[in-house]
Amino acid sequence: MTDHTNHTARAKEWFEDLRTQITNEFEAIEREAGSDASFMFTPWQREEEGNADPGGGVQGLMKGKVFEKVGVNVSTVRGNFAPEFAGSINGADAENRSFTATGISLVAHMANPHVPAVHMNTRFLTTGKAWFGGGADLNPPIPYEEDTGEFHAAFRAACAAHNPTYYDKFKKWADDYFYIPHRQCHRGVGGIFYDHLEVADDAAFERNFAFTKDVGKTFLEIYPKLVRRRMDAEFTEADKQTQLEWRGRYAEFNLVYDRGTLFGLKTGGNIDAILMSLPPEAVWS
């Protein structure tokens, strides 16, 4: 079996570096808006009985003038899945429950309803197998075709640089995944979602790590552009109501269907970091 210790360390280093780049850019946007808001970083340690090194992470949270609430979290955890949960994870079962997971997770809820909310996550996991997963999706309360088109075009180009089949496959995966069955609607306007890009050897690691890094870089290139385009737009009370209602849909998806939320809760993650994805305010009419 391949030793993925070095792979995990390299992925962890990248996720932490990407976190720094993103938080710096988001703080720069706040400065442009005349705000001195900054991220507060809160370390946390995971606990698992009988595990001397269960890992942990850092929750990054900012509440500002442009970003009403944005969380950028990184974590690296290791241990054993509960027997009843292990069977739902790639490469694990009730008899083989050990895992290591490192990743970055980001959710931004915006003050101006014309600015799209967004989610981005990339991760590297090892069980009996090892793989990358992640993606990014746009969640505008008030969609603009221009913004949606540019967001998808950026990720289409990122995918095409690695595999001509990736964009169509991963866009469909996002469309299928970010769907709220009981509402019969999508959470937003989509993006890409991928999982189980398996790492059987060093060559596969390099190939899939390069793609995962480009997902993060693409997010950093396209999303701040969309924020700057819309953050000064005037909005009405009706616009704000629309935003709050769509935030309710976002919360429903994350609490009922999101696999990342379930993974965090089932592996003893930090509750505040896991639920940072929830909006600061929402309504159900």
Known active-site residue 119? yes
Cβ–Cβ < 8 Å for 190, 156? no
* DSSP classification of residue 93: B
CA distances from 72 to 42, 195, 273 (A): 11, 20, 9
Amino acid in position 84: E
| Sign of the dihedral defined by the CA atoms of residues 140, 143, 147, 153, in that order | positive
Q: What is the rounded end-to-end Cα distance, in angstroms, of the chain? A: 54
Cβ–Cβ < 8 Å for 151, 162? no
Query: Which of the following is catalytic: 4, 7, 109, 119?
Result: 119
Cβ–Cβ < 8 Å for 76, 89? no
CA distances from 60 to 75, 239, 272 (A): 11, 28, 11
Q: Which of 158, 220, 214, 210 is nearest to 21 (CA)?
A: 220
Active site residues: 119
